[in-house]
Amino acid sequence: MVEDLRGQETWRIFKIMSEFVEGFEELSAIGPAVSIFGSARFPKNHTYYKMAEDIATLLAKDGYTIITGGGPGIMEAANRGAAKNGGGSVGLNILLPKEQKPNPFQNKSLTFKYFFARKVMFIKYAMGYVCMPGGFGTLDEFFEALTLVQTHKIYPLPLILVGKDYWNGLIHWMKTTMLKEDTISPEDLDLVKITDNPREVLSTINAHRDWKLKMIKSAIKKSGIKITGGKTNGI
């Protein structure tokens, strides 16, 4: 019996590896992308659904691929906004007993069993995070990205909370409790932007894209690498 359990654990490693390999292969060429998160429970006529679709529409028209969790609600709205405006629309679906039903607006779809493998794909291929109102899953994605940026485990990227009425209580608690108890630093709060304006989301992402391109060009210049015909040549 013990040997059987050990065997299952060993084979699970290969299942995990396969999810990483598939994710890397499928997403490596999607170009600049933005991950959009939010509740699966909002209907099509909800204000936040419409706002998520508007944000995805603006981003898609400006050349960004949209990455979501692939389900209904906010995820569907974001995939819809991307797909209907000629943009890449990626859904990173997860196997769940309820709530997760793949939406029809994905032009690239992957399915994961393991949350942690899926979360790597959200962060690895995103130039920014847009968090619409959502539940525990949205908070999980937001705080993991915030922690990775805070601890310098990943390059900085915009972390945008959309919906001031929804998120202001959280920000207030972070300021009055976490900051007061010295569990975070004042500059940590600067890592988060909160807005109700879809165009402000776009301008924030674009500003980060321009900064990132500037840093890349500067690094290439310092390294002595010349770019010829789309290829880099070391000197």
- Terminal-to-terminal C-alpha distance of the chain: 60
Structural domain including 62 reads 19-199
Mean pLDDT of 1-30: 83
Structural domain count of the chain: 1
Asked whether residue 17 carries a pLDDT value surpassing 80, the answer given is yes
- Whole-number Å distance between alpha carbons of 80 and 70: 11
Q: Is the residue at 12 inside a domain? A: no
Q: Is the residue at 55 inside a domain? A: yes
Q: Which residue has the higher pLDDT, 99 or 37?
A: 37
pLDDT of residue 222: 83
Helices (H), the chain: 2-27, 47-61, 74-83, 115-124, 136-150, 164-173, 198-223
Q: Is the residue at 232 inside a domain? A: no
Q: Which residue has the higher pLDDT, 212 or 166?
A: 166
pLDDT band at 189 (very low <50, low <70, confident <90, very high): very high
Asked whether residue 177 carries a pLDDT value surpassing 70, the answer given is yes
Read off the pTM.
Answer: 0.89
Q: Is the residue at 74 inside a domain? A: yes
Asked whether residue 230 carries a pLDDT value surpassing 60, the answer given is no
State percent of the chain over pLDDT 70: 91
pLDDT of residue 100: 66
Widest CA span in the chain: 61
DSSP bridge pairs for 192: 159
Asked whether residue 235 carries a pLDDT value surpassing 70, the answer given is no
Q: Is the residue at 216 inside a domain? A: no
What average pLDDT does the chain have? 92
Mean pLDDT of 62-87: 97
Mean pLDDT of 24-37: 97
pLDDT of residue 223: 80
- CA angle 72–25–37, rounded 5-degree value: 25
Give the CATH number of the domain where residue 104 resides: 3.40.50.450
Q: Is the residue at 206 inside a domain? A: no
Mean pLDDT of 171-189: 97
pLDDT of residue 226: 65
Q: For residue 139, give every residue at least 6 positions away whose Cβ sits within 8 Å of its Cβ, in sequence order, or none.
A: none
pLDDT of residue 1: 40
Mean pLDDT of 155-176: 97
- Whole-number Å distance between alpha carbons of 141 and 119: 7
pLDDT band at 234 (very low <50, low <70, confident <90, very high): very low
pLDDT of residue 2: 47
